[in-house]
Amino acid sequence: MERAKISVIQLFSLMLIFNMGTAVVISYGAKAGKDAWVAILLAMCGGVALFFIHYYSFRQYPHLLFIEYIRKIFGKYLGWVLGLIYCLFFLYICGRNVREFGDLIISSTLTETPLLVINLTFILVICYVIHLGIEVLGRSAEVFIVILVVLGASGNFLVLVSGDVDFERIRPVLEHGWKPILSTTFPTLISFPFGEMLAFTMLLPYLNRPQLVKRVWISAVILSGLILSWTVILNISVLGLGPMKRSNFPLLMAVGKVHLLEFIERMDVIVVFTLLITVFFKASVYLYGGVIGIANLFKVDNYNHILLPIGTIVIFLSLAMSSSFSEQTEEVLVTMYGIVVLFIAIPLIMLFVLIIREYVKKKIQ
């Protein structure tokens, strides 16, 4: 670990931006139809429940990284193997996020630019920030959260006054009952992005006021859930359910329809900047977690020694994982089930092991 500390505001900013990630731009929750916003709110409640699973383990080992206390719970050897799997999965999801960002940039603005150039530039900037340390990443998030608020408020205002919004398109509520909502909520929406927040167990030991972890984490989950739910409502109200489902990036399409006063148009740049910021910080958290985890497992004194080689691997992953965005979307099930197993099932097992150990210890005493 670094000898560094991040503030409560910085951690909250990182968590909120992390949860926005790519979810705010893609057709998030579309399988639930018009009730996607309801499914997201249910997933948000599931995200709060997941926090308490992670929080119980964190309270037992407040000064250790996740991959350190997983070895204390499952034993030296099994814990080490699991820790390595987590680190590799962090890097895999980092590569997916970078790939999704590159695909959006190519489809929306830099249509003639090779994907390699975009992803390479993006990862090098991330590596530079991580090289400077977790404090710099936290301070950057503190600044960019303000920019995100301004972009979000501007985009919402322009869409709402454009005359394209028809809230009747989200009615009737519960048109097909609870079944599609519940099947979409779990495992899809709970896994992404709320289940992914396990990555922050690699950052919690850096918090300067660890007693406020509960307040920060739950606030970030609730606020991000409300924002994502509202975004889906806006997408359906502007585009309609059919076009939203068919579009890879419905928010880009919804904001792109803005045309005011004969000169305010092409506001989809707001969405591109939003995705640039959110994916940058989400990929940074994953890359940082993977790098310091591998450094810890292999007893590397300074994680900066392995940062660039691992960044190179992530670039390769982002290019090789699929040949197109549609193919990558088809492979999302692999990632989702990986998240269910690693970010939900194993933490639940850890919780049970800790509870049983505590019970046995009390019995012995």
Q: How many CB atoms lie within 10 A of CB 109?
A: 11
pLDDT in tens, 316-358: 998 888 766 666 666 666 677 888 899 999 999 999 999 998 8
What local confidence, expressed as pLDDT, does residue 128 receive?
96
Map tokens 């037992």 to a residue. 60
> Which domains are present in the chain?
8-364 (1.10.4160.10)
- pLDDT over threshold 90, residue 4: no
pLDDT in tens, 274-311: 989 999 999 999 999 999 999 999 999 899 999 999 99
What local confidence, expressed as pLDDT, does residue 252 receive?
83
* C-alpha dist (Å) from residue 344 to 21, 51, 282, 330, 336: 19, 10, 19, 22, 11
Query: What distance in Å separates the CA atoms of residue 44 and residue 195, rounded to the nearest whole number?
Result: 10
pLDDT in tens, 35-81: 999 999 999 999 999 999 999 999 999 899 999 999 999 998 999 99
- CA angle (166, 170, 172) in 5-degree steps: 125
The overall average pLDDT reported for the chain is 89
Confidence of residue 31 (pLDDT cuts 50, 70, 90): confident
Percentage of residues in the chain having pLDDT higher than 90: 57
What local confidence, expressed as pLDDT, does residue 129 receive?
95
Query: What distance in Å separates the CA atoms of residue 251 and residue 249, rounded to the nearest whole number?
Result: 6
Query: What distance in Å separates the CA atoms of residue 100 and residue 329, rounded to the nearest whole number?
Result: 9
Query: What distance in Å separates the CA atoms of residue 185 and residue 205, rounded to the nearest whole number?
Result: 30
pLDDT in tens, 136-169: 999 999 999 999 999 999 989 888 888 888 888 8
Decide: helix, strand or coil at residue 207. strand
Query: What distance in Å separates the CA atoms of residue 91 and residue 335, rounded to the nearest whole number?
Result: 12
| CA 309 to the chain's CA centroid | 23
Query: What distance in Å separates the CA atoms of residue 105 and residue 114, rounded to the nearest whole number?
Result: 10
Instruction: Tell me which of 110 and 232 has the higher pLDDT.
Output: 232
Q: Specify whether the CB–CB gap between 258 and 267 falls below 8 A.
A: yes
